[in-house]
């Protein structure tokens, strides 16, 4: 069964638009996580950025208390966040690149350039009973390097696929890159997740990618929830995903 992990960062973004710097505010990403789990989500993803632009420390600690499925902490590979993750003990961390000027994570890790430090972080996490995923583009060299770090998962960055989905030629090229990347990772013993820019429209095409374990989806679900309600948005996504074989 293909699993759905829901990224709740954009709920916090909406809260921070009005309540930045305050100790309370709405909407609550913690409540959103509970609604998503009640609707059938298999996990909750939250990115604690270094600049704390949306998810805050109090959110991540509250999520650790209430999440009953699987807490996935997206994080940069920095000493402060690594130390926090080791105390928090989520079920899994997804290490992502982080740039202060970006609105959301717009690219994959350069694992080749950072292999040594990533391997050290993977060992620390694994020794603490925490699985590790690396957020990467479907690039052969990056996948090979990811396998050498000791990570259990990669998360394929589907942003370029989503961006070019409406253009048949370029979209097919990006899809084939994802297919090849998933096959390569699987052969190397890595489990394969995917995420970025996925929605109900492009998801069924992505189903041509083999070996997928989990999709991490946030923006399209929160956007859809504006009109249909978060619970309905989650159930709609799960219904589309049921066809993956």
**Contact indicator for 215, 3 with CB cutoff of 8 Å:** yes
| Cis peptide preceding 123, ω within 30 of 0 | no
Catalytic residue from among 10, 37, 42, 47: 47
| Distance separating alpha carbons of residues 90 and 128, to the nearest angstrom | 10
Domain residues for the domain of 163 are 3-241
Instruction: Say how far residue 107 (Cα) sits from the centre of its chain.
Output: 12
The CATH number covering residue 28 comes to: 3.20.20.70
The pLDDT profile of the chain, 245 residues, written as one tens digit per residue, is: 999 999 999 999 999 999 999 988 999 999 999 999 999 999 999 999 999 999 999 999 999 999 999 999 999 999 999 999 999 999 999 999 986 555 555 679 999 999 999 999 999 999 999 999 999 999 999 999 999 999 999 999 999 999 988 777 788 999 999 999 999 999 999 999 999 999 999 999 999 999 999 999 999 999 999 888 888 889 999 999 998 98
In the residue annotation, 115 being an active-site residue is answered as no
Residue 58 CA to residue 72 CA, distance in Å, equals: 16
Number of domains making up the chain: 1
| Catalytic-role residue among 74, 131, 155, 214 | 74
Kindly state the tokens that stand for 144. 């090979």
Which of the residues 98, 131, 196, 214 is marked catalytic? 196
Instruction: Reply yes or no on whether 106 is catalytic.
Output: no
Is residue 16 among the annotated active site residues?
no
């Amino acid at each position: 069964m293909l699993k759905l992990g829901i990224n709740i960062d954009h709920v916090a973004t909406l809260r921070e638009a009005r309540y930045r710097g305050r100790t309370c505010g709405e909407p609550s990403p913690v409540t959103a996580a509970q609604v998503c789990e009640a609707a059938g989500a298999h996990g909750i993803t939250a990115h604690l950025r270094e600049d704390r632009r949306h998810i805050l420390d109090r959110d991540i600690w509250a999520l650790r208390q209430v999440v009953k499925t699987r807490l996935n902490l997206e994080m940069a590979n920095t000493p402060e966040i690594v130390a926090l993750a080791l105390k928090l003990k989520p079920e899994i961390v997804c290490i992502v690149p982080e740039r202060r000027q970006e609105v959301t994570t717009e690219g994959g890790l350069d694992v080749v350039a950072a292999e040594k430090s990533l391997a050290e972080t993977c060992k620390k996490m694994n020794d603490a009973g925490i699985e590790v995923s690396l957020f990467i583009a479907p690039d052969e060299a990056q996948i090979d390097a990811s396998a050498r770090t000791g990570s259990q998962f990669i998360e394929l960055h589907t942003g370029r696929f989503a961006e070019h989905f409406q253009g048949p030629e370029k979209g097919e090229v990006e899809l084939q890159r994802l297919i090849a990347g998933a096959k390569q990772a699987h052969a190397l013993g890595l489990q394969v997740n995917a995420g970025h820019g996925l929605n109900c429209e492009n998801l069924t095409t992505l189903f041509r990618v083999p070996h997928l374990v989990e999709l991490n989806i946030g923006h399209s679900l929160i956007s859809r929830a504006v009109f249909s309600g978060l619970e309905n948005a989650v159930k709609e996504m799960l219904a589309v995903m049921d066809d993956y074989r």
